[in-house]
A = this chain, B = another copy of it.
């Protein structure tokens, strides 16, 4: 907090959101293990920001159930076991599948063309091996957002977005397996949407989400997230 304010962060979106993103990554990277205590004021000085945006970021993490508030005592990183991840992605797959199925029934020609364009952007970025992770993640996000908008179910899309915070970009964008699986999933999904086949769209989307789950689980295993559990 000596010289220039934001020290180790970029400066594109709002500050609380960037802090929340950083904390989410630290938690899922194993840097902050479940049970770790977080002191807001200390975090603020460590990150080089003031307490206000840190407070807000911790509130956001609390809404994701990634930290829990201990009144007058700070925050703790919430527990997360294999069962939790399984539950989370089971719901995620179900809801995302439902959204895809609804989109299949509600999509007009223009909407379909728009989705195809977004999918093409994603595919193009996937093909580039040295591509920007952030650009790829952004394109993927826009694709899903457009699909959800087409489905016309705001609250379902909201729930999906909540749970999606458990799968940050850098845990999948650089995985070769995910890249190949994704182009295939998008292809099958778009074919189903074009045909208005809700059931196939649902199935393709569910499979896509479960691919993401497998990636996250593999990552968590790799970093030893579960610690000394009974394996």
Q: Does A144 contact B (CB under 8 A)?
A: no
Interface size on A (CB < 8 Å)?
28
Report whether B153 and A87 are in contact in the complex, using a CB–CB cutoff of 8 Å: yes
Instruction: Kindly report how many copies of this chain are found in the complex they form together.
Output: 2
Q: Mark A67-102 against chain B: 1 for CB-CB distance below 8 A, else 0.
A: 000010000001100011001100100010000000
Q: Spot the interface stretch: A25-33, A155-163, A196-204, A223-231.
A: A155-163
Q: DSSP class of A's interface residues: helix, strand, loop or mixed?
A: helix
Which residues of B lie under 8 Å from residue A155 when comparing CB positions? 65, 84, 87-88
* Bound Cα distance A71, B155 (Å): 21
How far does the alpha carbon of A64 sit from the alpha carbon of B159 in the complex, in Å?
9
Docked-complex contact A71 and B154, CB < 8 angstroms? no
Per CB-CB distance, the 6 closest pairs between chain A and chain B, nearest first, are A63-B63, A65-B158, A84-B155, A88-B155, A59-B59, A87-B155
Q: Which residues of A contact B (CB under 8 A)?
A: 14, 16, 52, 55-56, 59-60, 63-65, 71, 78-79, 83-84, 87-88, 91, 95, 152-156, 158-159, 162-163
Name 10 interchain pairs, CB-CB below 8 A, sorted by A. Answer: A16-B59, A59-B59, A59-B60, A63-B64, A65-B155, A78-B154, A84-B153, A84-B155, A91-B159, A159-B159
